[in-house]
Amino acid sequence: MSGRRSWRPVITAVIVGVSAGVLGLRWGDALLVGLVTAVLVAVGLVSGSRDPDPWPQARREETAGTRREVAALTWSFIGRDGRVSEAAVRRLRSDATRRLAQRGLVVPGGISSSTATSPHVPDEVRERARAELGDRAWRILTAPGGWMPSLADIGHCVDVVERLGTDTTPSPMRGLT
């Protein structure tokens, strides 16, 4: 439209309204059809006249632990019947394994449903990992397949694993090897 008045809606409305009346529509209904046509043409003109939205700038580089990553992890927690998904438990086990390794405790095969009974995990490593995680988190992270923990259980494990990464005080069990 560019600042000047457009007669296109009015002309279109008159043509459609008169045509509807000539084709047998009552003149009051034909007038209504013409008015609706005028409104639709005017909206079409106005919506097509604005400048397009500019393309968004390049995305910022995302680093590990950014808000988007945390949001994706949070959505992966949602399961059925108040339980979390298997993907969330696997991710938490992986994070727990990594955090324990950063503290000097390498669990062969990582934390999994078989860690508590695996013959490949030495008893002293198993006990140290259990001591680092605490009984509740250990029980949740090494639970057999088929059982999914509740959101409260996962919340507890997230807190424990998070503390493993930030706690710089040496564990009393760390020196044992």
| β-sheet bridge partners, residue 150 | 83
In b/e form, how buried is each residue of 76-89, taking b as 16+ CB within 10 angstroms? bbebeeebbbeebb
Residue 63 falls within a domain, yes or no?
A: no
Phi, psi of 135 (to 5 degrees): -60, -45
Residue 103 falls within a domain, yes or no?
A: yes
Residue 120 falls within a domain, yes or no?
A: yes
Residue 61 falls within a domain, yes or no?
A: no
Domain co-membership, 85 together with 161: yes
Domain co-membership, 21 together with 75: no
Domain co-membership, 104 together with 155: yes
Please tell me the pTM assigned to this model: 0.52
Model pLDDT for residues 79-110, shown as the tens digit of each residue: 666 677 787 888 888 989 998 998 888 899 88
Domain co-membership, 38 together with 84: no
Residue 57 falls within a domain, yes or no?
A: no
**d(Cα 92, Cα 96) in Å, to the nearest integer?**
6
CA 126 to chain centre: 34
- Domain limits at 136? 70-166
Domain co-membership, 111 together with 161: yes
- pLDDT tier, 168 (very low <50, low <70, confident <90, very high otherwise): low
Residue 55 falls within a domain, yes or no?
A: no
Residue 65 falls within a domain, yes or no?
A: no
Domain co-membership, 86 together with 158: yes
Model pLDDT for residues 46-91, shown as the tens digit of each residue: 876 666 666 666 666 655 555 565 566 666 666 666 677 787 888 8
